[in-house]
Amino acid sequence: MKNQRKILVTSALPYANGAIHLGHMVEHIQTDIWVRFQKSRGHECYYCCADDTHGTPIMLAAQKQGITPEQLIEKTHGEHLSDFTGFGIGYDNYYSTHSPENKQYSEQIYLALKANDKIISKNINQLFDPEKQMFLPDRFVKGECPKCHAKDQYGDNCEVCGTTYAPTDLIQPYSVVSGATPVMKETEHFFFKLSDCADFLRTWTSGNNAQGKPHLQDEARNKMNEWLKDGELADWDITRDAPYFGFEIPNQPNKYFYVWLDAPVGYMASFQNLCDRIGLNFNDYFGKDSQAELYHFIGKDILYFHALFWTAMLAYSGYRTPSGIFAHGFLTVDGQKMSKSRGTFITAKSYLEQGLNPEWMRYYIAAKLNSKIEDIDLNLNDFIARVNSDLVGKFVNIAARASGFIQKRFSGSLKDVSQSDLIKQLTEKSEQIAQDYEDREYNKAIREIMALADLVNEYVDENKPWELAKQEGADNQLHQVCSELINAFKILAAYLSPVLPKLAVQAAEFLNIEKLDWAQTVSTLPENHKINEYKHLMQRIEEKQVNALIEANKQNIEAQPQTQVEEKKADFPEGYTPVSAQCSFDDFVKVDMRVAKVLNCEAVEGSTKLLKFNLDLGFEQRTIFSGIAASYPNPAELNGTMVIAVVNFAPRKMAKFGVSEGMILSAADGNGQLKLLTVHEGAKAGDKVG
Beta-strand pair 119-129/134-135: antiparallel
How far is residue 450's CA from residue 321's CA, in Å, rounded to a whole number? 38
- Pairing type for strands 621-626 and 376-378 reads unpaired
Residue 672 has a pLDDT of: 55
Phi-psi sector, 236: left (phi>0), alpha (psi -120 to 50), beta: beta
Q: Are 507 and 489 in contact (CB under 8 A)?
A: yes
What is the gyration radius of the CA atoms in the chain, in angstroms?
29
Backbone angles phi, psi at 425, to 5 degrees: -60, -35
- The pLDDT value given to residue 666: 84
pLDDT at 574: 28
Q: What confidence score (pLDDT) does residue 1 get?
A: 53
User: Three-class SS string for 606-659?
Assistant: CCCCCEEEEEECCCCEEEEEECCHHHCCCHHHHCCCEEEEECCCCCEECCCCCE
6-110+255-329 shares its CATH topology with 119-192: no
Domain ranges of the chain: 6-110+255-329, 119-192, 376-521, 565-676
pLDDT at 193: 96
Residue stretches of the annotated binding site for ATP: 340
Sequence ranges of the binding site for Zn(2+): 145, 148, 158, 161
Q: What is the pLDDT of residue 687?
A: 77
Class assignment of domain 119-192? mainly beta
275, 48 contact by CB (below 8 A): no
pTM, two decimals, is 0.80
Angle (CA) 94-98-103 rounded to 5° is 110
pLDDT for the residue numbered 681: 60
Mean pLDDT of successive 10-residue stretches along the chain, which has 690 residues = 88 95 97 98 98 93 94 97 98 98 98 98 93 86 92 84 81 92 94 95 95 95 85 86 95 95 97 98 98 97 93 98 97 90 92 97 98 95 96 96 95 97 98 98 98 97 95 95 98 98 98 97 97 95 95 59 27 28 43 85 84 83 86 86 84 70 78 72 72
Question: According to the model, what pLDDT value does residue 555 have?
Answer: 63
Please name which of 120, 119, 101 lies closest in space to residue 265, comparing C-alpha atoms.
101
Q: What is the pLDDT of residue 559?
A: 28
> So what's the pLDDT on residue 654?
66
Separation between Cα atoms, residue 258 and residue 313, nearest integer Å: 14
Can you give the pLDDT at residue 686? Answer: 76
Which residues, in sequence order, are bridge partners of residue 660? 652
Strand ordering across the sheet containing 6-11: 93-96, 44-51, 6-11, 293-299, 324-328
Could you tell me which CATH number the domain at 6-110+255-329 has? 3.40.50.620
Q: Give the separation between CA 129 and CA 179, rounded to whole angstroms.
A: 9
Predicted pLDDT of residue 683: 75
CATH of 376-521, one of 3.90.180.10, 1.10.730.10, 3.20.20.70, 3.90.650.10: 1.10.730.10
How many CB atoms within 10 Å of residue 393?
14
Binding residues: 145, 148, 158, 161, 340
Residues with Cβ within 8 Å of residue 684, at least 6 apart in sequence: 595, 618
First to last CA, the chain: 75
pLDDT at 659: 76
- Which residues are CB-contacts of 482 (< 8 A; sequence separation ≥ 6)? 402, 403, 405, 406, 410, 465
Residue 2: what pLDDT? 60
Q: Give the CATH superfamily of 565-676.
A: Nucleic acid-binding proteins (2.40.50.140)
Question: Count of CB atoms within 10 A of residue 491's CB?
Answer: 25
Which pLDDT belongs to residue 572?
Answer: 25
pLDDT at 583: 43
Distance CA 414, CA 532 (A): 11
Give buried/exposed letters for 562-579 (b at 16+ CB in 10 A, else e). ebebeebebbbbbbbbeb
**44-51/6-11 β-pairing:** parallel
| Eight-state DSSP code of residue 158 | -
